[in-house]
Structure 1
Amino acid sequence: MSITAPPPVQQAVPLSRRSLAPDLARGLMLLLIAVAHAHMYLSGHPAGFRGYTLDGGLLDRLVAGIQILLVDGRALPMFAGLFGYGLVQLADRQLAAGRTWPQVRKVLRARSLWLLAFGFCHALLLFFGDILGAYGLVGLVLVGFIRRSDRALFWAAGVSTVLHVAVLGLFGLLTVTAEKGDTPAAMADPMEAAVMRMIGWSGMTPTYFAVSVVPAFLLGIWAARRRLLEQPAEHRALLRRVGVIGTLIAVVGAVPLTLIDTRLWDATDAIGITAYALHSVTGIAGGLAYAALIGLAVAGRERHARPGAVTRALAACGQWSLTCYLLQSVVFVALFAPYFGGLGTQLGDAAASGVAVVTWLFTVVLAATLSRTGRRGPAETLLRRLTYRRVR
């Protein structure tokens, strides 16, 4: 009697054969994440709904206004959509290699579980606002939606959006009513800061971040089924509509909170909470719109045989997205934390964003340089090895 061996583990797609648009979107998204996170390491100032200082100078208020209008609450859903898109790509490769759906589901759940573990370590050591744990949790719980119908995806996305608004209202209420205490970024004792980061992460990951991720994650699955970013030239009309309409919705929805958090509008608490919820929920449209616009840009370049050096560098950063995301936190802790560089009490929002841009550029150059030899990011390599360790 012969025993049929299971299909071999599907090898990772060589970097040179990866689709350009998803990687380019991830690379540019990391810039948005960097500038959205850097100011969260500052301390010693009263802060608004999005964590920007309320006593900053004119330049600080201008930078904060631009970021609230165009960046904050837009990078997270963009990454969520790309995460859902990437899970479908991974599942398709596994199925093409001859694996059954139960085997593929096991791989996806293992990857999501390890991503949750990465998020735990990231929060413990570096950043209370970690988002890896939320993606891992959502992937672990909702992996079955990869096989569900489009109708089920849209229904679930709609229901999760309503839940998202309810959670936003709760967090907005806590922002204006809770007693203000020291944030982990303000704590000089690294052990005390680590404890506070874990308390915040364990509460916010399942309640705030994960709920925020779900709508865009599900719509990313829908987009991947149609290969919108892998074949953008065939979907120009749809990408254009999503890009234009989504950006318009996101900008209009961000205006009230931008005015409030930059002190141009002295609104009541009720209006502030409403503006906070509106800003975040319209950010879902903004994140998806940004990904669509990048797909359009790639479609417009398809007549060129080879992307330019800058495009290749940005795509390399996207290929190293997990490594580059973690490197951002390492740099920010080294510069801003009271027990290291201590700049968190000395810089304002504008300077913090400047540091973020330089940090992102550093990761782009690093990824572009090291990926020329086909090398993958160390965090990506570790995640892959852990995922497939028992999947044979």
Structure 2
Amino acid sequence: MTAPSPASERILALDALRGVAVAGIVGMNVLAFALPAPAYYNPLAYGGVSPPDYWVWLASFVFIEDKFRTLFAMLFGAGCLILIERAGAAPWRAHYARMAVLFVIGLAHAILLASNDVLRAYALAGCALPLLAGLSARGLVSVAIGLLGVHLMLGLVVLGGPMAMYLAGHAGTDGMLWAQRQFGHDPPTILMLLEQGREGLAERVVRRSLGIPGQMTALVAALPLNLSAMALGMGLWRGGMLKGAWRTFRLQRVAGLAALVALPGLLLMAGWLVSEGFAAPLVGPVALVLSAPFDMALALAYAALAMAFLTRDTGLTARLAAAGRLSLTNYLLTSVILASVFAHWGLGLFGEVSRWQAFAIGAVPVAAMLAWSRWWVAKVGQGPFERLWRAGARLLS
């Protein structure tokens, strides 16, 4: 997500990569709209009743879950660095104005539509990016690795207790019960979440507005991981990969090595969860902490492949590039479409579909963004929410 630049300055593969990222995020966001929260990570919590549901979980865990969110954050970091570099000697005021407006947009998005909104987290993490803007490509990658290590350490401090208790064979502790409510099948919790998911719009606005202070804890906890991905994206821009300056063979080699690191680790963790019956004390640490390095490696592989092959302004690449140019609008439009399907004021399908059915419905917003974006870019250019973001930032800067 970046402010628009003249067409002559745009990099087709980078725009297409943004399109890949915003489309890929739908694969997990649809589950947040369709099913109670524990089912987002655990197919046994709710909505996993048939073999297709488990195959969808496996494919999502290995190839989608947090990979495209990480890719989105990488591109956000790269986009911020692009604007900082173009802003001249004193870019900070404009940058912080953009972050303030983005936070407000994200806050409205979270209250009205999507409780799993990422824009607020990106805006908060983005406040640190000017401090990194002067680093070399190698320095930025080093910062990314260091912040990833911080995320792993803090995550294990928070979630490692229940996992250690489970592995030691202890049961019934407060930590174990908390993990069951968050990541397992706890009937009272599932019932409460089903009732909550079927509330009216006015009720939802009130509840989520009152919950804003509590949400800040989760946003702050996500800072190291989001900053890590953003720093990596900045490093890839400064190092030339996202500028389209690397040869195809080099990009293929990076993609292959990153996939060789990521896929065995993700498959081993998936097998571990299956063998343990998706025990709640394991699901949380695996999904939120232990998988993070492998998620980032696979996101890097996706980025390298896109920069290698999405280089011709025809067919699917052209549609992805148009969707990428409207990434903020498409991200928000996805929530509008999914809310109209699953929310009580729409078709009311929340909790009424299985995992694979929800995943299939996710094809609707993806098809919509690929269908409308190219026409809009050709006729209008800038997306409506990109325009709003830019206008708001100008007022503040």
- Tell me if TM exceeds 0.5: yes
Instruction: Name the CA shift for 1:195/1:16 in 2 (closer, same or farther; >3 Å).
Output: farther
Structure 2 counterpart of 1:253, from 236, 240, 265: 265
Aligned pairs for 1:216-231 (under 5 A) are 216-231=229-244
For 2:299, the equivalent position in structure 1 comes to: 287
Following TM superposition, by how much is the alpha carbon of 1:217 offset from its aligned partner in structure 2, in angstroms? 0.7
1:204 aligns with 2:205: no
For 1:3, the equivalent position in structure 2 comes to: none
The whole-number CA distance in structure 2 between the counterparts of 1:22 and 1:366 is 19
- SS of 1:47's partner is helix
Following TM superposition, by how much is the alpha carbon of 1:59 offset from its aligned partner in structure 2, in angstroms? 1.2
Structure 2 counterpart of 1:123, from 88, 91, 110: 110
Amino acid at match of 2:331: Y
1:318 aligns with 2:319: no
Following TM superposition, by how much is the alpha carbon of 1:316 offset from its aligned partner in structure 2, in angstroms? 0.2
For 1:176, the equivalent position in structure 2 comes to: 179
For 1:336, the equivalent position in structure 2 comes to: 342
For 1:346, the equivalent position in structure 2 comes to: 352
1:146 aligns with 2:139: no
Instruction: Name the CA shift for 1:337/1:226 in 2 (closer, same or farther; >3 Å).
Output: same
Q: Deviations over 1:317-372 (max 9, x none)?
A: 00000000000001111110134321112111111111111211111111111111
Instruction: Name the CA shift for 1:369/1:271 in 2 (closer, same or farther; >3 Å).
Output: same
The whole-number CA distance in structure 1 between the counterparts of 2:316 and 2:139 is 39
1:76 aligns with 2:82: no
Structure 2 counterpart of 1:266, from 262, 267, 277: 277
Following TM superposition, by how much is the alpha carbon of 1:168 offset from its aligned partner in structure 2, in angstroms? 3.3
Q: Alpha carbon RMSD of aligned pairs, Å?
A: 2.7
Following TM superposition, by how much is the alpha carbon of 1:167 offset from its aligned partner in structure 2, in angstroms? 4.0
- Give the paired residue count: 366
The whole-number CA distance in structure 1 between the counterparts of 2:40 and 2:375 is 39
Following TM superposition, by how much is the alpha carbon of 1:238 offset from its aligned partner in structure 2, in angstroms? 4.0
The whole-number CA distance in structure 1 between the counterparts of 2:181 and 2:271 is 22
1:93 aligns with 2:86: yes
The whole-number CA distance in structure 2 between the counterparts of 1:48 and 1:265 is 18
Instruction: Name the CA shift for 1:268/1:342 in 2 (closer, same or farther; >3 Å).
Output: closer
- Name whichever of 369-378 and 197-206 sits farther off: 197-206
Q: Deviations over 1:185-216 (max 9, x none)?
A: 624243443355453643322213x3321111
What's the TM-score once normalised by structure 2's chain length?
0.83
The whole-number CA distance in structure 1 between the counterparts of 2:242 and 2:142 is 23
Amino acid at match of 1:218: A
Amino acid at match of 1:92: E
Q: Deviations over 1:1-47 (max 9, x none)?
A: xxxxxxxxxx9522354111111011111221001110112236963
- Name whichever of 251-260 and 369-378 sits farther off: 251-260
Structure 2 unaligned segments of length 5 or more: list them: 163-174
1:214 aligns with 2:201: no
- Name whichever of 265-274 and 115-124 sits farther off: 265-274
Structure 1 unaligned segments of length 5 or more: list them: 1-10
Following TM superposition, by how much is the alpha carbon of 1:239 offset from its aligned partner in structure 2, in angstroms? 2.3
- SS of 2:347's partner is coil
- Name whichever of 122-131 and 55-64 sits farther off: 55-64
Aligned pairs for 1:222-241 (under 5 A) are 222-232=235-245, 234-241=246-253
- Name whichever of 42-51 and 158-167 sits farther off: 42-51
Check whether the contact 1:46–1:54 (CA below 8 A) recurs between aligned residues.
Answer: no
Amino acid at match of 1:190: L
Instruction: Name the CA shift for 1:313/1:54 in 2 (closer, same or farther; >3 Å).
Output: closer
Check whether the contact 2:97–2:396 (CA below 8 A) recurs between aligned residues.
Answer: no
What's the TM-score once normalised by structure 1's chain length?
0.84
Q: Deviations over 1:272-320 (max 9, x none)?
A: 455332223311111122111101113xx5xxxx521321111000000
Amino acid at match of 1:343: L
The whole-number CA distance in structure 2 between the counterparts of 1:203 and 1:118 is 19
For 2:168, the equivalent position in structure 1 comes to: none
Instruction: Name the CA shift for 1:223/1:116 in 2 (closer, same or farther; >3 Å).
Output: same
The whole-number CA distance in structure 1 between the counterparts of 2:284 and 2:276 is 14
The whole-number CA distance in structure 1 between the counterparts of 2:37 and 2:101 is 36
Following TM superposition, by how much is the alpha carbon of 1:374 offset from its aligned partner in structure 2, in angstroms? 4.5
- SS of 1:147's partner is coil
